[in-house]
Structure 1
């Protein structure tokens, strides 16, 4: 079953509320959050979905590790997604179009200047 963001938030709220008033459930949350979620909601959470439970007592620090890279020369999937969306040919097409517009504008400017110069010569 796929979980929506809303279902995840609702489940977290339900688990937190129950853990705040039920010591046995709180202990289960700390030892096996997947079993606790199933007990509270009847729904199973896929084991590859990571859930970290931190007891609110004392001081804590969470360290989130980035994705492991396969090689120093390769980008991670996240890095690829952040830079994806274009290609060299797409850039060439765009800048080629911009270049063509600039050339056309320059050509028109020269034509206008030539006409103005010809008028001036005709008046002499």
Structure 2
């Protein structure tokens, strides 16, 4: 009985720290998503500016290809931020589920 009480007290003592960590992770994920959105918007804006300029050059296709490559590189950075934000959000949800007793089952139920 005292072992269960110790576990319960330990869980209660660590709960505020876990909640703060979850809030920090949510805020960090939100800021990563905002940064990714801004990167995508900037990449699109830069391409929209570069495209008409490319048609004024001698090597149009090369210029367009370089502009697309730069846009793609920025979008890949944004995707990486989105993936990291999704990972953080998933981790927060898993912690919340574990804390509420809704942990994921280890195996699928037999058919």
TM-score range, shorter chain: 0.3 to 0.5
Q: TM-score under structure 1 normalisation?
A: 0.32
Higher relative contact order (CA 8 A, sep 6+): 2
**Greater helix content:** 2
Bigger Cα Rg: 1
The two structures have a TM-score, normalised by structure 2, of 0.35
